[in-house]
């Protein structure tokens, strides 16, 4: 098809190869219309594997430890969600769990599930459904907001307690960067271009 329609304002544009300079904007509402060509599937897989390792580290080690009056407490990423659960706020616990653990995990695993077979010129079972889950879950990954929230909490605590950052705090910060790189490398256009190339 030689026409593309802007998803943000419905204006029809003649299809051209995306300019080498980068993105093409809608002539009317300036929304992003086309992205730069030639993303690399290898880069995307490498970033996803890297993110998976960081995600495991972030959940296996404590995020922060706090010492006050000789006693000490620490928490993990999942522990933060369980804190709400322990106090009877199950819906808040579910929200924190979904946005900091489930969404990143699903984003990484669904990508690997689809991309590794694609790279070997195969097609994963249920590929389209899995890719749709990915596009639906991706906006709920709030890792970067969580990091800022953690900083706010640590600033408040540092007044009256001794705070030790844990391994997971550093790996979460790296995970946040890795996930945002992964998201920009695997936009829907890129993903579906790989899928279509595989069909040919």
Partner 1 sequence: MTSPATGRSLGLLVCLDCRQTVRGVTARHMRCPRCHAPLHERKPHSLAVTTVLVVCAAVLYVPANLLPVMITRTIFDDERDTIMSGVLVLLHSGSWPIALLVFVASIVVPLLKILALGVLLYTAWRRSPRRRLQRSELFRMVEFIGRWSMLDIYAVSLLATLVQIQSFASIIVGWGAWAFAAVVVLTLLAARTFDERLLWDKPQHD
In the complex, the residues that contact partner 1 under the rule CB under 8 A are: 1, 3-12, 28-31, 63-64, 66, 68-69, 71, 73-75, 79-84, 87, 89, 91-92, 95-96, 99-100, 128-129, 131-132, 135, 139, 142, 145-146, 148-157, 159, 188-189, 191-192, 195-196
Residue the block writes with tokens 């970033």:
47
Instruction: Tell me how far apart the terminal alpha carbons of the chain are, to the nearest angstrom.
Output: 16
Closest CB to partner 1 among residues 51, 134? 134
Closest CB to partner 1 among residues 155, 167? 155
Closest CB to partner 1 among residues 82, 105? 82
Residue the block writes with tokens 């659960």:
85
Residue the block writes with tokens 């749709």:
132
Closest CB to partner 1 among residues 56, 151? 151
Least distance from partner 1 to the Cβ atom of residue 200, Å? 14
DSSP state at residue 138: G
**DSSP calls for 48-87:** HHHHHHHHHHHHHS-SEEEEETTEEEEE-HHHHHHHHHHT
164, β-bridge pairs? 65
- Please give the Cα distance from 183 to 20 (Å, whole number): 21
Q: Which two tokens stand for residue 72?
A: 């000490």
Closest CB to partner 1 among residues 81, 108? 81
Least distance from partner 1 to the Cβ atom of residue 173, Å? 14
- Please give the Cα distance from 178 to 53 (Å, whole number): 11
Least distance from partner 1 to the Cβ atom of residue 14, Å? 10
Least distance from partner 1 to the Cβ atom of residue 57, Å? 18
């Amino acid at each position: 098809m030689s026409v593309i329609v802007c998803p943000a304002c419905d204006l029809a544009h003649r299809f051209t190869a995306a300019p080498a300079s980068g993105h093409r904007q809608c002539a009317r509402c300036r929304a992003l219309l086309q992205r730069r060509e030639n993303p690399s599937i290898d880069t995307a897989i490498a970033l996803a594997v890297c993110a998976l390792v960081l995600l495991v580290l972030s959940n296996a080690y404590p995020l922060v430890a706090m010492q006050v009056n000789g006693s000490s407490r620490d928490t993990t990423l999942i522990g933060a969600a369980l804190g709400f659960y322990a106090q009877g706020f199950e819906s808040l616990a579910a929200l924190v769990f979904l946005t900091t653990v489930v969404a990143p995990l699903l984003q990484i695993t669904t990508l690997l599930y689809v991309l590794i077979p694609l790279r070997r010129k195969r097609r994963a079972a249920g590929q389209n459904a899995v890719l749709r889950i990915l596009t639906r879950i991706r906006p709920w990954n709030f890792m970067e907001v969580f990091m800022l929230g953690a900083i706010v909490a640590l600033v408040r605590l540092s007044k009256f307690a001794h705070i030790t950052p844990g391994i997971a705090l550093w790996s979460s910060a790296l995970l946040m960067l890795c996930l945002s790189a992964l998201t920009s490398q695997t936009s829907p256009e890129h993903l579906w271009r790989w899928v279509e190339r595989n069909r040919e």
